[in-house]
């Protein structure tokens, strides 16, 4: 059902984003891979070009100019935008056994701003600029990423502030655009995941992105009545949070 549709994946050069881009490419969707690391974006797009038409874009999702240019380039290249996956984020990855982020009393404002502007600000900007394209067609899916972090030990505050905010953002935007037939949902990986950048010990202990299966493809086909909800991928299907 996604063949010929156009998908943007932010942070698509590696990790969960790259996994998602791969699953979309297998469905023959046209995939734009946006990443702050230009080399990663080009490598992923090059590898997926054997499956479908791809486009690599160097994008810092904190930059309104970058995001606007990304959306304009995708619209110009493919003539439409059907799916946006807001995946780009700064993630603490505490489950990998790496040092925890500072407590709030010790955190530099620059670090706080970078996390907030990337995770929450990037989701806002991506959504803002794809909506006019989707509203014109009266069709589209926006998928936002959720993640978890324990209250103890400390260190997850900045990250969780962004993720809980994205949950609220998703619910409100879903209602704003419901009459335009645009489905906006949030997707939770549910468990810690070790991507290619994780230490070897973590990769041996934790599942990789493949545990998410075809979850993003299913999310991009959810009906409008599911808009605003949070979903997890379990046993080959999406399960909505009650």
**What local confidence, expressed as pLDDT, does residue 204 receive?**
75
11: left (phi over 0), alpha (psi -120 to 50) or beta: left
Q: Could you write out the DSSP letters of every residue in 110-127?
A: HHHHHHHIIIIIHHHHHH
| Residues constituting the chain | 242
Across 166-229, the runs of DSSP E, i.e. the strands, are 182-188
Q: Do the bridges between strand 54-58 and strand 30-35 make them parallel or antiparallel, or are there none, so unpaired?
A: parallel
| Alpha carbons 128 and 122: distance in angstroms, whole number | 10
229: left (phi over 0), alpha (psi -120 to 50) or beta: beta
Q: Is 159 a catalytic residue?
A: yes
**What local confidence, expressed as pLDDT, does residue 55 receive?**
98
**What local confidence, expressed as pLDDT, does residue 153 receive?**
65
Cβ atoms 42, 12 nearer than 8 A: no
**What local confidence, expressed as pLDDT, does residue 197 receive?**
78
Q: What tokens appear for 113 in the block?
A: 């701003």
What are the C-alpha distances in Å from 85 to residues 21, 62, 177, 185, 223?
Answer: 9, 16, 17, 10, 16
Neighbouring residues of 188: CB distance < 8 A, sequence distance ≥ 6: 145, 146, 147, 148, 230, 231, 232, 241
What structural domains does the chain harbor? 6-240 (3.40.50.720)
**What local confidence, expressed as pLDDT, does residue 152 receive?**
65
**What local confidence, expressed as pLDDT, does residue 18 receive?**
96
Out of 129, 146, 159, 233, which one is annotated catalytic? Answer: 159
- What is the value of pTM for the model shown? 0.95
Q: pLDDT of 101-152, one tens digit each? A: 899 999 999 999 999 999 999 999 999 999 999 999 999 999 999 987 666 6
| Alpha carbons 194 and 182: distance in angstroms, whole number | 32
Ordered mean pLDDT values, 10 residues apiece, the chain (242 residues): 96 96 98 97 97 98 98 98 97 76 94 97 98 97 88 80 96 98 95 77 81 96 98 93 80
Q: Do the bridges between strand 230-234 and strand 237-240 make them parallel or antiparallel, or are there none, so unpaired?
A: antiparallel
């Amino acid at each position: 059902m996604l063949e010929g549709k156009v998908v943007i994946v932010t942070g698509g050069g590696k990790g969960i984003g790259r996994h998602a881009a791969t699953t979309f490419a297998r469905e023959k969707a046209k995939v734009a891979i946006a990443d702050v690391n230009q080399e990663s974006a080009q490598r992923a797009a090059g590898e997926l070009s054997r499956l479908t038409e791809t486009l690599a874009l160097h994008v810092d999702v904190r930059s309104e100019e970058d995001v606007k240019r990304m959306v304009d380039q995708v619209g110009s290249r493919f003539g439409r935008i059907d799916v946006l996956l807001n995946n780009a984020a700064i993630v603490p990855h505490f489950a990998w056994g790496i040092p925890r982020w500072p407590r709030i009393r010790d955190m530099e404002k620059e670090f706080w701003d970078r996390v907030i502007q990337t995770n929450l600000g990037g989701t806002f900007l991506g959504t803002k600029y794809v909506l006019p394209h989707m509203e014109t067609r009266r069709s589209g899916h926006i998928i936002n990423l959720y993640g978890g972090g324990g209250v103890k030990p400390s260190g997850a505050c900045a990250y969780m502030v962004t993720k809980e905010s994205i949950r609220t953002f998703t619910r409100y935007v879903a209602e704003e655009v419901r009459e335009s037939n645009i489905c906006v949902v949030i997707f939770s990986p549910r468990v810690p995941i070790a991507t290619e950048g994780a230490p070897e010990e973590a990769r041996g202990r934790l599942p990789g992105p493949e545990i998410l299966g075809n979850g993003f493809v299913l999310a991009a086909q959810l009906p409008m009545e599911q808009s605003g909800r949070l979903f997890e991928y379990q046993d080959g299907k999406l399960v909505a949070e009650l």
